[in-house]
Amino acid sequence: MIPCTDLFRSIILVLVVGCTWAQEPDDAQRKAKLEAERRQLGTSPRAQPASPRDAAADYAQKRAAEAMHSAVLTLGGNGPVVKDKPYRALAVTETVRSLTDGNRIVRQNSTQHYRDRMGRTRREQTIETLGGSTPITPLRMVVISDPVAGLDYIVDDSRMSVRKFARYESGSPDRKPAPGSIESSLGTRMIEGMECNGTRTIVTLPAGQIGNVLPIEIVTESWYSPAIEALVRSTTSDPRFGQTSYTLRDIVLEEPRRSLFETPPGYKVEFEGRPGVMMNRPDRH
């Protein structure tokens, strides 16, 4: 399992790269002006043909969604299929970075998780704007993984579309400790109503490995619930990036609605294969 800190940073990095394609900083102002002109003319935005720059912005958002999907799945978002252990819960990740002047930067990210008895999963997340040149303000991501059909979905409510990819699995739940790491058991504890097994992992970066004068110690404490086969809580303290905490809250052990794992009615379906790897589309014979 990839530490939450690294996963969160990687997702944001990939999203920033995806968002900056084919978009300039003044697009938001240009769009606002264009919409005002359309309203004055009494015309609907949908009635007007998309300009090349509008098409570029739409393409940028589409590619950013694909980049987000790729980051979430290939960085450990899709583990082995877990059947007969349905649940829904809210996952909250918070990163706190302390500055040298005593100030702090706090970032919080929430994701709604669902899993059904067949091992299908759904993750709903909203990411706020990342800057003035970002064409996504904000971006709501819905990623559905369906091991039964062998597909992953990205549900885009803004475009009323669903993009389907060949499912990616990250493989075995068995993870190998990082080189030079030390692991120890923290025993068992009840967390969020679940009995969890705790593990402390200490990774030490030797002096000089990344230009550091002294060794850097990264400490992670994680609590795993066998009842749902999921991480319930973890904290990572890394001097380079601050402290990151992850908690699975409001856990409900019941079967989610089947519709949560299906294509919404009226949505256009686009088949894309894996990000960057096109597959034969059923609509092309």
Position 82 scores a pLDDT of 94
Burial state string for 140-172 with b = 16 or more CB within 10 A and e = fewer than 16: ebbbbbbbeeeebbbbbeeeebbbbbebbeeee
Per the confidence metrics, is the pTM higher than 0.85? no
Q: Parallel, antiparallel, or unpaired for β 268-271 and 161-166?
A: parallel
pLDDT digits (tens, 9 = 90+) for 232-261: 999 999 999 899 999 999 999 999 999 999
For residue 92, give the nearest of 204, 189, 8, 161 by alpha carbon.
8
Q: Is the pLDDT higher at 213 or at 70?
A: 213
pLDDT for 176-210, tens place per residue? 666 678 999 999 999 999 999 999 999 999 999 99
The two three-digit tokens of residue 75, written as one number: 């960085």
Domain boundaries, the chain: 181-240
DSSP summary character for residue 1: -
> For tokens 């970066």, what's the residue?
205
